[in-house]
Structure 1
Amino acid sequence: MSATDTPLAPAHAAGAVISEDDLRQQAVDVLDANWQRDHTVPSRALYPHQWSWDAAFIAVGLAHHRPERAWRDLRSLFAAQWHDGRVPHIVFDPDVSERDYFPGPAFWDAPGSSGRPGGLTTGIVQPPVHAVAAREIYLRCPDRDAARLELEWLYPRLVKQQAYLVERRDVGGDGLVSIVHPWESGLDNSPAWDNALAAVPVDLSLLRSHRRQDTQVSVHSHRPTDTDYARYIAIATAYRDGGYRDEELRERHPFLVECPSFNAILAAAELALADIAEAIGADPAPHRDRAEQVTKALAERLFDPSTGMFHARDVRTGQLSPARCVNGLVPLILPGLPEARVRSLLSVAGSPAFGLGGELPLPSYDRTAPDFDRLRYWRGPVWINVNWMLWRGLSAHGHAREAADLRTAMLTVIRRGGCHEYFDPVSGAGIGAGSFSWTAALALDLLAAPE
């Protein structure tokens, strides 16, 4: 449906708005309930393992509640780092049955990492938000000496993660990282990938031999379609069967895309690493230089003047996706983004397509697009993690009023809809998994921020 078919519901439509104190307690309860030995799961029913970028967002919130768990979450994830530097997008819990999540460890058939036996991770990555998280935990820790020891353990691993992405994944040769699967973006079924995915053959018989588990515990109409999922399995199979090698990807891999949000996060991670390097007595200059290089490449290669925002680029065809998705606004997190680009993104964010300054946070996709879908995952719903990044970007560029409005919108939708995975961009109702960890964690961070 189009956003114009149904007006925005009033603030009380999705339920009573709880107090900020009650929200704080609810968020703490969610994080405590989702703690599993040495890490936090995103959601008990739908996501019973450890996810990479979830761990980073969760750690930001845990810094306000249980900082020792924040560090432990990151340590647990990076213990599964591969020898080549990649940090897998899922670290599987050996106590969870293969039947309870697909695709599980048997499908991925991943080699062992330095801290895990073989077969307990996936072979793909997610956006490297972890350095940003590590810096945030450090800044909030009262015991700086203990926090510095944590940074000293993490720093070389974070550097290795960045080196893997920059050196092994610059498939286009233009200084930007390519993702090899939509899941690597974190925005699984975003319209940003539609054109690139269209070139991947659809074999629905894959879903007979590989049964989806997500639709057994979640509403089917809220999840990626079977057609999308068949393509996801085909792409993952191709990468796995190629031994997870990154050489000659352009010649043999069916999906290669430069994502604006992934690359913006990559540059933001370098800036965070510069601060971490200073804290532990290392040289920050290489990190600042790389952040500048990635920011420049991003501004030159993925910005479309006709839409005023950033777009995903299909490395195979060289074409920018026409879809106006929220990942095209995420480069706002970069303080070095040219001012003209910042002004343009602010204009788009405040337009009817995204509605910055309105009652609700920004949707994941253009509200005015004919295929806007208010319920289906990344094809319309509101996600707190992306809005949290935009809030930080607005603050960094000095747009205090817009940042305050967005903070208010995020807290209101969570207070009204609960700590859900995502939210209806029309009514504000919570949808997807309930008791979702990164929503709870980022709510704590928002609550701790000054008005």
Structure 2
Amino acid sequence: MERKLREKAKKVLNANYNEEGFTIPCEGLYPFQWKWDSGFIAIGFAHFDMFKAKKEVTTLLDAQWENGFIPHIVFHNESDSYFPGPDFHKSELHPLASKKYKTTGITQPPVLGFVLQELYRIANDKIDVLNFIKTEIDKVYNNHKYFYENRDPNNEGLVYIYHNWESGTDNSPIWDSVWETMEKDTPHYKFERRDTTHVDASQRPSSREYDYYLHIIEIAKANNYDDVKIAELSPFLIQDPLFNAMLIKSNQALIDLYKIIGNNDDKIKTLKDWQSKSKPAFNDKLFDKELGAYVHYDLRNERPIRMITSSSFSPLFGGIPSQERAGVLVNTLKAKFGGDDKYLCASFDPENENFNPKKYWRGPVWVNLNWLLYYGLMNYGYDDLALRVKNDTIELITKCGFYEYFDPRKEIYKKECSGYGGNNFSWTAALLIDLLDN
């Protein structure tokens, strides 16, 4: 059974791989290269085709801006099946944007540091992969440097995102309170949705939500994607626990890899300085003792967003909480998300009135967050709960196939397959391979 599943996963990845050296998330719905998708995809490829794993990373980093910024989409190819495309984003407005590729002017969670470490862990030929890492690691370091120099206006070790797409959790209920503050200033844009021609509209963000998404980008474009102006003017400035946990995890991965490579004491010192500031700030500012979970902080409106999501548990992967606090997180996870009638882990608090088990990041299970949770739980010795996350993930894919996201309610699977969004989704396949091989 697992062998067949693994072979199917390999076929999904190979089918979505483009000979130019990148893998699309899935056909039709997502026809370009996405930043954090590529990171997870590379981990999957590393188990059976290290050439493609390395190529995935180098192709993405080839589109890095001169200031270290890595965009969330690289438009390698022409396609009319996705909106908003390169003509809307106009990344060339920034003077240091990629001259080789059209890209977006927003980013995604910084996963590449730990992705390089995962490739080294998985590799049979350690020397070959280490030589590869030597060619790419400074680019990832420069990406981290960009964040701390341009996205931390209070110099507190926590970086902000200025668009919900930068979080990776696009339409989470977390953002609803921000949209309320933007309502009167956000116009109704005229545009043609492309996503809803591929996926049921009930599973996607609303058109009014897209107005907010586009409005934030219009503000950034009006200021040539200048970070100083964005920090001053954007109505959306969020310190996101998932984003910052990925940065902290990747910082540590770079430290470990630079030690193996040698002769990088200056960079190791800088990375350690970032860590010594970021971890305490993360724990002091983003942990909500009453909720027993990490939460988002609205930097623009100076208030925590007191809701629990799957992102709330990502600090386990980043090694951020103490062992005692990890226990608090696990109790919250089991109490709110871990009932016998649910698959782990819903993307939003199932007890909250805004929970929607079918609608993108408003409730469904996502394999990439489960993958982070699995390794995070293992880090802290919660092996039994980690195994449940792994088995739930495998069971969902076995029942439905390689979908983008899944309904967390077990009962519904008695009647129908409840995988949603894009099918034959690349990171679902890639991370399943890693879970099966570990």
Give the match for residue 199 of structure 2: 218
Aligned residues: 426
* Equivalent residues of 2:223, 2:230 under 8 A apart: no
1:430 aligned to which of 378, 397, 419: 419
More deviation, 289-298/126-135: 289-298
Q: What pairs with 1:19-58 in structure 2 (closer than 5 Å)?
A: 19-37=1-19, 38-58=21-41
* Equivalent residues of 2:63, 2:100 under 8 A apart: no
Q: Are 1:383 and 2:366 matched, yes or no? A: yes
Give the match for residue 410 of structure 1: 393
Question: Deviation string for 1:345-380 (max 9, x for gaps)?
Answer: 1111111x2117876121000111112101110000
Q: Which has the higher contact order (CA 8 A, sep 6+)?
A: 1
Give the match for residue 5 of structure 1: none
Relative to structure 1, the CA distance from residue 243 to residue 430 in structure 2 (aligned partners, 3 Å threshold; closer, same or farther) is same
Matched position secondary structure for 2:30: coil
Give the match for residue 301 of structure 1: 285
Q: CA shift at 1:192, angstroms?
A: 1.4
Q: Which amino acid aligns with 1:63?
A: A
Give the match for residue 323 of structure 2: 339
TM-score relative to the length of structure 2:
0.93
Q: Are 1:445 and 2:434 matched, yes or no? A: yes
Q: Which amino acid aligns with 2:240?
A: C
* Equivalent residues of 1:268, 1:291 under 8 A apart: no
- Counting aligned pairs with the same residue, the percent is 35
Distance 1:115 1:172 in 2: 25
Q: Are 1:200 and 2:160 matched, yes or no? A: no
Q: What pairs with 1:270-309 in structure 2 (closer than 5 Å)?
A: 270-281=251-262, 282-283=264-265, 284-309=268-293
Name the structure with the higher helix share.
Answer: 2
Matched position secondary structure for 2:99: coil
Distance 1:243 1:372 in 2: 36
* Equivalent residues of 2:157, 2:274 under 8 A apart: no
Q: CA shift at 1:78, angstroms?
A: 0.3
Question: Deviation string for 1:166-197 (max 9, x for gaps)?
Answer: 11001344221100000000000111122122
Question: Deviation string for 1:382-419 (max 9, x for gaps)?
Answer: 00101110111111111111111211111111111111
Matched position secondary structure for 1:367: coil
Q: What pairs with 1:6-405 in structure 2 (closer than 5 Å)?
A: 19-37=1-19, 38-94=21-77, 96-97=78-79, 99-111=80-92, 117=99, 120-201=102-183, 203=186, 205-206=188-189, 208=190, 210-281=191-262, 282-283=264-265, 284-351=268-335, 353-355=336-338, 360-405=343-388
Q: CA shift at 1:150, angstroms?
A: 1.0
* Equivalent residues of 1:359, 1:409 under 8 A apart: no
Distance 1:64 1:188 in 2: 29
Matched position secondary structure for 1:313: strand
* Equivalent residues of 2:66, 2:98 under 8 A apart: no
Q: CA shift at 1:294, angstroms?
A: 1.4
* Equivalent residues of 2:404, 2:425 under 8 A apart: yes
Matched position secondary structure for 2:25: coil
Q: Which amino acid aligns with 1:55?
A: S
Distance 2:166 2:260 in 1: 30
Q: Which amino acid aligns with 1:314?
A: D
Distance 1:66 1:109 in 2: 35
Distance 2:83 2:319 in 1: 39
CA RMSD of aligned residues (A): 1.8
Distance 2:95 2:357 in 1: 39
More deviation, 389-398/116-125: 116-125
Q: Which amino acid aligns with 2:315?
A: P
Question: Deviation string for 1:33-81 (max 9, x for gaps)?
Answer: 0001211100011000000000001111111021110110000000000
* Equivalent residues of 2:220, 2:230 under 8 A apart: no
Matched position secondary structure for 2:103: coil
Q: Which amino acid aligns with 2:420?
A: I
Distance 2:139 2:176 in 1: 34
Q: Which amino acid aligns with 1:134?
A: L
Q: Which amino acid aligns with 1:205?
A: H
More deviation, 27-36/329-338: 329-338
Distance 1:332 1:65 in 2: 28
Matched position secondary structure for 2:227: coil
Distance 1:406 1:191 in 2: 23
Distance 1:232 1:307 in 2: 29
Q: CA shift at 1:205, angstroms?
A: 3.2
* Equivalent residues of 1:331, 1:337 under 8 A apart: yes
Q: Are 1:420 and 2:403 matched, yes or no? A: yes
Q: Which amino acid aligns with 2:308?
A: R
* Equivalent residues of 1:132, 1:272 under 8 A apart: yes
Q: CA shift at 1:159, angstroms?
A: 0.4
Q: CA shift at 1:292, angstroms?
A: 3.6
Distance 1:421 1:350 in 2: 24
Q: CA shift at 1:122, angstroms?
A: 0.3
